[in-house]
Structures are given as structure tokens and as C-alpha cells.
Amino acid sequence: METWTVCSPGLYFALGAWLMIVTHTFQNTKAEISCASCPSPVQLPAGELRAKPTDGMSAIKNIKVEFREFGLQNEEQDNNQDDAPDFGKDAAIGKPDFGDGAALLRGKRNSPEFAEFIEIGLPGQADLNSGTSSERMPDGLRSTGLSRSELRKTRNGQQDEHKITSSTFALTGDSAHNHAVVYWSGQNSSVILILTKLFDFHIGSVTESTLWRSSDSGSTYVKMNDKVGSKTVLSYLYVCPTNKRKIMVLTDPEFESSVLISSDEGASYQKYRLTFYILSLLFHPTEEDWALAYSHDQKLYSSLDFGRKWQLVHEHVTPTRFYWSVSGLDKDLDLVHMEAQTPDGSVQYITCRVQMCTEANRNYPFPGFIDISSLVVQDDYIFIQVPTSGRATYYVSYKRDQFIQIKLPKYSLPKDLHIVSTDEKQVFAAVQEWNQNDTYNLYLSDTRGIYFTLAMENVKTTKGMGGNQMLDLYEVEGIRGMLIANKRQNNQVKTFITYNKGRDWRLLQAPARDLDGNEIHCILPFCSLHLQLQTSENPYLSGAISTKSSAPGIIVATGNIGTELSYNNVGMYISSDAGNSWRQIFEEEHNVWFLDKGGALVAVKQPSVPNRHLWVSFDEGRQWTQHSFSSVPLFVDGVLVEAGAENQIMTFFGHFSHRSEWQLIKIDYKSIFTGKCTEEDYQTWHLHNQGEPCVMGQKQIYMKRRPGNYCMIGKDYSRILSAESCICRAHDFECDYGYERHRNGNCRPSFWFNPSATSRSCSLGNNYLNSTGYRKVVLNNCTKGVKEMYTARKQQCPKKPPKGLLLTTKDGKFVANMGTNVTFLVHLDEGDSLRTNIQLDFGDGIAVSYSNLSWAEEGIKHVYKSAGIFCVTALAENSLGYETTTFYLHVTCPVEHVHLLAPFVVIRNKEVNISALVLPTHPRTVTYFWWLGNTTEAMLTLDGSVSYTFPNEGMYSVTVQVAAANIIFQDTKTIAVREFFKSLLLSFSPNLDEFNPDLSEWRQDVGRVIKKAVLQVAEFPEEQLLVAVLPGVPTAAELFLLPNKNQSLDKKKSEEELEQVSNIIVNALNQNLVAFELRPGVRVIVYNTQLTLAPLVDSSPRHKSSAMLMLLAVVFLGLAVFLIYKFKRKIPWINIYAEVNQEKEQEMFSSVGQGDNTPKITLNEFSSKDLMEKELDARVKRGVENSRESTREIPNCTSV
């Protein structure tokens, strides 16, 4: 599978084009076009694991177009991953996706109109009427690079027999259409389809469309609108890659959602309504009627009858992350790989059969969650990315085996990783490491894609049209292991070339002479040739560099000579011997294509100016012959070369002016050939690297047409004549994983790598491969020589005690939900895994033991039935020793409610307890945040209780937040702080309980009503009277009489006043004078509770009898506790508590909170008998009922 494979014209593929006009009407618009499967540098969209698309078994090429206005950002398109150039997509995925289509951008014009150009000309352009201009040369003029001195050496009029024939067809009536998509179905077919559209940039949709069809290879075209519906607006057109006669056309969803199907190369169509809007299509690589469709609402559909009927496969599928099965690897042809989101937003890798993708039939090859947009299925490999402790971890599955973590050098610490290619039995990856910003490092893997070694550092990136970073790396077609890269070195960018997959790199030798024959003084390493490696994102233009697999050794590129890469004073250069030597062919930038399987070259100037000539070379660019393809200069938007392998036809697309119709010029260049090549027309060419004949471990001899012959190469032409294996030498071996190459060329262990460590899979009595620090370059065919010296040696597994024991969870997290499966992974760096016993204690009283580590390779699962922090311990032991490790796991249960327990009035400078009741109970698995005393800084505790002293009088707000997992609950109370106060305990007539919902808002409302009723019988400042309705049933309340702040200094007088008011209120209560109407007909009477808290409460020591009362209260409380314990089985809520305690006690990690070290309020600190009676009365009256309520709310999450 080729990563940078050219959209090969020799494969009979159908090409398509997006064509956008830069007109006066849309002069503020911009088209951004990319061809993901053409030979462009690797595109690196940030933040996602990506892979470059491959040919696979499909000839469809994926083109993506993005429209923006200058200074404006289309948010919808920016957020749609389908719109951005992306090499992580399969051959037919993308929005818009054109099946066999290719993208074409109408070049920006330097002239407003052609008529104006003829009259006044443009600066820097040749005068069309000048006889010295190359534009005025007659057909057949031969040139060696368009240099004036060389042009004078050529002869005029000698090549009349090599004239080309052309015909022009204008798409009349489509001059307003600013998009065109062109398809040549290939397979020796003469059918061409063109879809032109008017895209309205203001509303962002297509408003008009015309479908054209040619059945004579582009000589004439017929409108097909009557076949599809005169009012039907078409958006995209797809050609089946395995049967080019089958075509699928989509209507624009703004008008209707339908698909038109043709089985006769677009001659007739059948329309089928759709219930969804198709964003992209993916055809099956072998089954012509099978297709996957991705909808606008992230649903994936499948069709087994070429779009006539569709069935839902899965919902919430990630865009572009779905793949058909790979032949020879997946068991079922209709298997689909996809990445989908769960309801909670997590992402999973799922496989299923498209017509049986129910929950019961789905498989999850990777058991945990993965990062979004990280699934890549390519050739023998499947890649995913998993976040672990804030750092990305990458996994690979080779030939559908279990996933194994990818091993990069220990401290590479990748910020970004992209799969560049997988087509040569190994993985080529680009990694941006922690200390890189605009460069990437290149890594090569072993055959399984697990162990990666460095191939080149600091490869330059270039910003592409779509805003993505383009990696300046190019794989030369036709020669295995040959790469060209631009490397940033000492603040300069230089071009390097390798012939052995990055094992060795060298600079490019500059040409010895320029086009005029002048000598070039350029000495390595101070001066060299530097190449631009960006190929066009528009596949109708060749871009800055071109190679072809059918023309091995020929490289055409734009570049410059000097100390570093420059984009000024550039020229066109060619190498005929695979980069060993170079020649300049043009002084200006040209688009260069390969004709006749690479036997000839055709060149056209850059499309920014009108042109009517092309140049052809039959001697690998040494001499060029000029031919005219149009009588009127044409703004060339693109050239379709060799769409049909047998008909020798090129098609030029463009406009004579901005407002003219589309012009399609059909060029038949068969007449420039003298006939079919015979054996005498070929010669041998030996591939070499600066004279070294052994490249990738073999001597390769190619057959090439003799330069200057005008014969035509047949389709049965064989390129490689012979390939002979070489004797292995040092350059056939690269450094193994964990080793680095030093200046002397030797591989030495990295500082972090222990070469003496043996794998835990190495069992006593077995053998293992002990690395020498080297490994053979993958697909290198050398034999003997130093192979035995550098190849890993087989050695007997030694006896070693366990070492490097590591315990983690499958998802790498330290938290889990109660009642769910937790999978523990046990890793051992060294030790005989078959003879090492593994014990795992889950910390909740349950432990397991395995006789060897192989039983635990898939992970050890456990379900925790209670919440808490558990200390999980692993022990690895064999006859030579043991090793242990621990892991603290937080098991949580969702918080449902929090209630703040705090007194309503407290005494100044007296420590008070404030507690938070959390339901369900979470012992040490939640975090409490306290805001006390009107402070803005939170106090953090792991305990649900704190002690606090209020130093000043006033009203204070107390807030607590409880955080458990991703859930936070909050409760707030207001506390009055005074030097002393008076309180009364109130009760009510029983009818109030019938309307008590036990809500805090209800209690606040009733408290205001009670306060209003009390003020009617006693004259007292409203702000000094507080009423707090207590939770629970029967309903009770507490009334507080607070002294005036100004009277705090005259304490005795104030106490007397409070006592008088208290007596008045008590008398009124005893006479049933305090009452309120809850609702019509419901009158509630307020009573004074007999067990009252009448005495004043303060901090003075003058209450001498309080100690005796406190002692009696303690004795009474102790007696009550004894009776409850004695008869607990007869009390329902106590019985539930006892049943919970019968469970085995869990081993919990004891965290220390603030409440563990701070003193608590004790009973003997109170100086009032009545305060103690109040506390006791409140517990007796509501304790049982409140406990019963809290118990029934937590049947599943109680933890003891």
C-alpha cells in the first residue's frame, strides 16, 4: 500500500475535479483544495492519530475542498473534520467526496480579460506578437530547457511529423457555474462525465447544476439534465471503483435528499429517496454493490444493492473513522471497523457485520476507551490512541492480534503522532516530540509495528492550503527505500536523500552547469541542491516534485542551489539516475507530467498566465519540443493526463477569459510517436548510490527506453530486468530499539535502556533472541556477509528473580465506579513468567492467586461492592526472590444529596461543630470544600465535619461543597453569632405534620409565618427574633431571642430584657394565643415544649448547678444508648444498620482530614442546663425518624 502514491493514469482510474472560479463577483473568496491520495507530503492535522490514505483495492481518490472568505472563518466547516485535508481517511471518504474525482482549482489570473491582455500585455510576460518569444515558436521547435542560447542551436521545422491534434468543446450556458467535477471512467472507456454547479457563497449551498456526458472521449458533450430531472440540483458524483459503469449521483439536500443510480456509465438514471443526508461514501474494495454512507447526524448506513436500500449500522460514529474489512485479515467480507461514542461521551473501537450490527453481535477488539479520531485501520495494522495520566499512549494490532503498546524511545514524549505509511511490512511514523514546534522526527518500526527507532530528526513542515502542516517528506516511486526530506539543521533547511529507508542520509549534489552551459561552483557540504517537496493539492497540477513508478530513477522537481532551501530564484531540475546527478531543465516553474508509462515528459507553464503551448521531451528532459494545443491562449486550470491507457489522450481544462464558458480541449498525442517500441529501443540502467550498486541489499537492473527514441511503450513493458542479492554490510542494518547511532557509526545502548534485561516471557529452558544493537532494514535482501554478526543471537533464558513489577488499571485511571468491572494489569519487566506466582489482593478482603503470569495477561477483573479507597497489592514471587507493589484505587458511588448540619445561633469565641451529611454515605471518597465566616478561600477536608470559632458577632454564611468523581453538590446555612441569647423550643398542633413535605424551602416559609405570629403577642425587634423550623416529623422549631448589638456591653440589662420577653412569649404560648392559618380551614397552634431551653446561654461561669445537670444528662444518655443496643433487633432502622455491619470489614486507606486533628465541642463545655436539655430533646424527638429516612435512601451504596 503506497502512502504517497501518485494518482496513476495507467491504472484506468476515473478522475474528478472541484473547480472554483476566482471572478470579480467572488473576488473575496478562496478555494482550498487537497488530494489526500496523490503524492503530496504528509499532512499533519493536530491532535489526532492519523494515517495517510492508501490505494487499497480501490481506484477512487479522495479529494476534499474547503471554502472560506478572506478574514472570515466558517465555523461549521472548520468544525467538520471532513472538510479539512486529512490523510487519515480511506480512499473514498471525505466531504465532499468525489469517488474517482480529483480536485481542480481555477488558477488566479494576472489579467482581467484576454482581450485586454492582447492589447496591452502584462509586465514580465512575453509579447504574443513578438517573434522572439517562446510563445511564438512554431510547432516542432526543439529546445534544451528554454534557454535563449540553447534555443539558437535548435532547428526549425524539422518535426512536422510530430504535430498533435486537438479539439475544443465549450460547455455553453454554464459560464455562471463556478464548480466543475470531471470524471473519466477509464477501463478503455470513451465516456466522460462533467458535473458543473453554481455554488452560492452567501447561502453556502448549490443553487444550479448541469450534468454533461461525452461518449467520444471528450470531443462532444450532451446535457443530461432531462435524464436526472430538469429541476434536480446535483451535489456530488461517485463512480464505483470495482465497476466503473456504475455511478451514484447525490442531490443537494437543500432541495431534496435522493440518490440517482446508473449502471450504464451515466446514460440513464433511477432516483431513490433517502431519509438522511449523505456526507460521504465508502465503497467496498471488492464487492461492487456494497457501500457505507455517513450521514450529517453521525450515523453510519450500509447498502448491499448499490444505494437502492439502506440499513442503519451504528449511531454516533466519528467522522472518517469507519473502514471496510481487509481481505486476508478479516474473516467476514461485510465486516466494518468503526469508532463510535457511548452515551456518556466515551469513545470505543467496534467491529460488526453491516447487516447484523446489533448490540449482541458487536465486538470490542480493544476493551477500554480510546481517544476520539484515533482509530486507523491500514494494511496489516490497526492503531489506536489511549490517554494515560495526561500523556497519550499508542497501541497497535498486527494482523488482528491483540493490541500491544507502541514502544517509542523512552523520553521522546510525543505531543503528536501520525502514521505516514504501512505499505512495506513496517510502520513509518512522524512524531512531534515535547521540545518541537514546527518540525517532526521520523521513526521506523519493526515488522509488527511495535518497536520504533529514529530515522531522521527535525523534518521541516510547511503550512498547506487547508491550514494543516505538510511534512516535507517525499517517497520516490519505483525505487524501494528511497526517500527525500527537508531537514532543519542549524537554523537552515537542507534537502537530504536516503536509499536505505533512513539508515543513511546525504545532501544532493548540485548540477555542474546551468542552462547556458556556465559552470556552477557548488561544493558539498557548504553548497548543495535543495528541492521543494510540496506537491499540488490540486491533482490536475503536478506540483513541485514528481516521480512515477513506471519511470524509475526519473525525478522532476522545483528547487534552488545554495546553502539552504529558498523559494526565490528557483528553477526546474531533473535527475535521470535516481538522484545521483541533476540537470536544470527550465528557468521558470512548470507543471511536468509523465506520458506513455513515463517514456516521455510533457511540461506546461504555471497556470497564472494564459498559455497555448506545451513542451514534450523523449530524452529525459535533455531536449524539449514545443507543440500548440490551442489557437487562443487559455487560462489552464488543470490537465488530465492519460485518463485512458490505450488512447493517448490528454484533456486541458480552463477558460479563455473570466466570463467565458468552460473550455475542454481534447489532445490526441498519439501522432508524436513513430510506433511501438521494440527490443532495440531499450537499454539497461543500473540503480546505484554514488557508484555503490547495492541498494537495499540487491543489485537492480532496469530496462529503459533509449533517450531520443519516439517509439511508444506497450502496457506489457517490464521495468526490472534483474535483481541480484548482495553480501550484507553495515549499511544494511539500522540501530535496534533502545540503541542510538554514535558519530563513529556504531549503535550503543541509550542511557535509559538496559540491554541485559530479558523479557518476562522468557522461561527457564527456553531460548530468547538477544539483540546485538542492530536490526536488518525491513525488506533489505542482502545475504551472508556481516548478517550473522549483526543479527540477534539465540540464547538460553537465565534464572532471574521478579523485577520491575507494575500494577495499573486497564484504562490507566485511579478511580472506578462502585459495582462496575475494574480490570487490573500486572506487568513484569524481568523474571520467568511461567514460573513466577502472582498474587493480587484487592483490598476489600478478596484476593486471587495465579501460578504464572500468563494467566493474567488479559487482565484481572474485580467488582467492588462498596465505596472507599482500597489498597490493592500485587506480589510476584519465584524461587529466586519476590517483589511487591501497591495501587490505591478510589471506588466511588454517585452523590445524590448533601445537607449541612449547623446551629442557627452560636456564642462568640466558642468552638462549634459543623457537619455535612452526604447521601449515600461516602467514607473518605469525597472531598469537602468549606467556606466559613464569610471568607472567600475554601478550606479543604476529607472529613464531613469541621470545628470553627467565630471571633465576632454578626450574621455569617456557611457553605459546603461535596465533590465526588465529576459531581458536586452544595448546601448553605446562615449562622447568627452573639455573646449570649435566649431560646425556646416550639411544637405544633398535629395537623401541621400532614402538610410537612420536609423541604428546606417549606421550613423557611413556615418559619416566617411563625415569626409573624409571635411578634403579634410580644413587642420585640423583628431583626432580633429568629425562628428555625427543624427537619423531620413531628414538626418542631426553635425560637431565638438575640440581644441588641448596642446593648452587648450592658450585658446584665440586656439579659433581663430578654428574660422579660421570653416570659411574655411563654405565657402566650401556654394560653394558645400564638397560632397561624396554614391554608383555609387549617389553623395551627404553636406550643411551648415542656422540655424547654429557657435559661440564657453565655460563657460566664456563674451557673453553679449546671455541672450536676450535665452529669445527670450524660447518665441518661448512656442509659438510652444501652437500651438501644440491647433491643436493637426490635428497632427497624437499627436492624438495617446491624445487617450492613455483618458484611466483612473492608481494608480502607485512612486519609487524615482537618477534623481528625481539631478539637470537638464536648458536653462539659456548656454552662447551661437548658442547652443540654434542648440537645437531648431534639435527639429523642427526631432521631429515630431522621435515621429511618436516611437509611432508606441509600440501600445500594452504604459502606461501613
DSSP symbols for 375-422: -EEETTEEEEEEEETTEEEEEEEETT---EE-B--TT--EEEEEEEE-
Question: At residue 819, what are phi and psi to the nearest 5 degrees?
Answer: 85, 0
Check residue 943 and give its pLDDT. Answer: 85
Q: Please state at what angle helix 1132-1141 crosses helix 1169-1192, rounded to 10 degrees.
A: 70
pLDDT per residue as tens digits for the range 1175-1197? 444 443 444 344 333 333 333 33
Which residues lie below 8 Å from residue 380, measured CB to CB, with a gap of 6+? 329, 398, 399, 422, 425, 449
User: Residue 1134 is placed in which grid cell?
Assistant: 437499627
DSSP 651: E
- Edge-first strand order for the sheet with 317-324 is 317-324, 335-341, 347-353
Which pLDDT value is given to residue 1157?
Answer: 38
SS3 1122: helix
What cell numbers appear for 861 in the block?
477483573
Helix axes of 1169-1192 and 1106-1126: crossing angle, nearest 10 degrees = 20
Q: Which amino acid, residue 274? A: L
Q: What is the DSSP letter of 340?
A: E
Given a contact cutoff of 8 angstroms between Cβ atoms, the answer to whether 1040 and 1026 are in contact is yes
- Beta bridge mates, 392: 387
- Residue 928: C-alpha distances to residues 200, 500, 900, 964, 1197 (Å): 57, 61, 11, 9, 19
The four Cα atoms 517, 521, 522, 524 give a dihedral, to 10 degrees, of: 130
Which residues lie closer than 8 Å to 10 by C-beta, 6 or more apart? 550, 597, 642, 645, 715
The model's pLDDT over 1066-1075, given as tens digits with 9 standing for 90+, comes to 999 999 999 9
pLDDT digit string, tens, across residues 196-206: 888 888 877 88
* Residues listed for the chain: 1200
Q: How confident is the model at residue 1175, as a pLDDT?
A: 44
Q: Alpha-carbon distance 774 to 752, whole Å?
A: 17
Side by side, which strands form the sheet with 939-941?
905-907, 967-978, 954-964, 927-931, 939-941
Which stretches within 128-252 are classed as H helix?
148-151, 225-228
- pLDDT < 70 stretches in the chain: 1-162, 186-187, 389-390, 465-467, 642-647, 714-718, 758-761, 763-765, 922-924, 1046-1049, 1090-1200
Q: Is 1097 helix (H, G, I), strand (E, B) or coil?
A: strand
With contact defined as beta carbons under 8 Å apart, do 1028 and 1047 qualify? no
Distance CA 270, CA 7 (A): 30
In this prediction the pTM is 0.70
Note whether 67 and 31 are within 8 A (CB): yes
The answer to whether 261 and 248 have CB atoms below 8 angstroms apart is yes
Q: Rounded CA gap, 36 and 1097, in Å?
A: 82
HSE-CB of 409 using CA atoms within 13 angstroms: 23
pLDDT at 370: 92
**C-alpha–C-alpha distance, residues 695 and 482, integer Å:** 9
In eight-state DSSP terms, residue 60 is -
Give 1094-1135 pLDDT, tens digit per residue. Answer: 344 443 433 334 444 455 555 555 655 555 544 444 443 333
Residues paired with residue 914 on neighbouring β-strands, in sequence order: 946
- What are 842's three cell numbers? 484487592
379 backbone φψ class: left, alpha, beta (φ>0; ψ -120 to 50):
left
Compute φ and ψ for 679, nearest 5 degrees. -60, -35
**What's the Rg (C-alpha) of the chain?**
41
3-state secondary structure 549-617: CCCCCCEEEEEEEECCCCCCCCEEEEECCCCCCCEEEECCCEEEEEEHHHCEEEEEECCCCCECEEEEE
787: three-class secondary structure by DSSP: helix
Name 1103's Cβ contacts closer than 8 Å, sequence gap at least 6.
1095, 1167, 1168, 1169
Burial tier of 1075 (Cβ tally within 10 Å: 0-12, 13-18, 19+): middle
**CA-closest candidate to residue 907, choices 945, 954, 960, 971:** 954
For residue 1166, which phi and psi values (nearest 5 degrees)?
-85, 145
Termini Cα distance of the chain:
60
Pairing assessment for the beta strands 837-841 and 868-878 based on DSSP bridges: antiparallel
Task: Find all residues with CB under 8 Å of 452, minimum gap 6, and list them.
Answer: 406, 407, 408, 409, 427, 429, 443, 444, 445, 737
The DSSP code for 1175 is: H
> What are the cell numbers at 688?
546505484
Query: What pairs with residue 583 in β-bridges?
Result: 574
Task: Name the nearest CA neighbour of 419 among 438, 435, 395.
Answer: 395
List the one residue out of 1086, 1062, 1075, 1090 whose CA is nearest residue 1180.
1090
pLDDT value at position 1158?
34
* 181 neighbors 194 (Cβ within 8 angstroms): yes
